[in-house]
Structures are given as C-alpha cells and as structure tokens.
Amino acid sequence: MWNGWLNQTALPALEQTTVFAQRRHLLLAGNIANLDTPGYQTRDLSVAEFQNALKEVVEAQQARSSMPGSASSPHHTLPEAVERTRDVTKQVLYHDGSDVSLEEQVAEISKNQAMHDMAVALMRSQFQTLNMAIRESVNV
C-alpha cells in the first residue's frame, strides 16, 4: 500500500536523479584523477539521455495511474546509464593523446553537484510535506 502511494510522488524520480548524479560524479572525479595519464580518454554519462529516460518513465507512470480502476503500478527503475568515452573529435586532443581538460571537468562537476543538491532539496521538501500530512491525520 505505502509503496504504491509513494510511487505516485516525485520521490522515485528524485531518487533516480541522485543515483545518476552520484555515478556521474565518480566518473568526473576519475577524469580529474587521470589528468596526467597519457592517452586517457574522458568518461561521462549523458545527462540528456538520462533526462529523456526519466521523462519516459514518469510519463508512463502517469498514464498508468490515470487509467480508471488501475492499481498502483510497481516502482519502475530507469535503464542503466551507459558510460561512454567522449567523442574525441569534439575535444581538444593534447600532445600525449589525452583529452582531459581540468577546467571542463571542474565545470561539469559543479553542474552535476547542483543537479544533485536540487534533487536532495526537493526530496527533503517532499518528506517534510509527507511528515506534516501524517502528523495532521494522527492529531485528528
């Protein structure tokens, strides 16, 4: 009962966003760690692909829940994010064969951190709202 009810909130999408941001952060940090490794090709997860997959899952969930007489559907997870080396034709390739730019990686980490922080703040707000609803119903 509770699981189906919580799946109708934004919490599952926010959870997936934090998991994605955590995985991406590890890759970006690895890119920085390999800054001086000759021939190293940067790795990343596609934010656009993640956002499209998340949108499809949320829309499918909304369509199922709006059907008359439909029961709560189980929590759907996103397909596994695909780790890729970036297209070197779009990168500066340095004399040692690597394509790691410290400035670019730091900028990507900052954007990724902002996405993670936003998802956590929204989750906190959702939990506070749920907590208030529970407390009000208990006091009646």
Predicted confidence at residue 140, as pLDDT, reads 46
Paired strand residues for 14: none
Q: Is the pLDDT of residue 104 over 70?
A: yes
Quick one: which of 103, 85, 89 has its CA closest to 40? 85
Q: How far apart are CA 124 and CA 11, in angstroms?
A: 10
Give the chain's domain count: 1
Q: Is the pLDDT of residue 121 over 90?
A: yes
User: What is the domain extent for residue 70?
Assistant: 2-139
Report the chain's mean pLDDT, rounded to a whole number. Answer: 79
Q: Is the pLDDT of residue 122 over 90?
A: yes
Q: Is the pLDDT of residue 60 over 50?
A: yes
* pTM for the full predicted model: 0.74
More confident of the two residues 139 and 99: 99
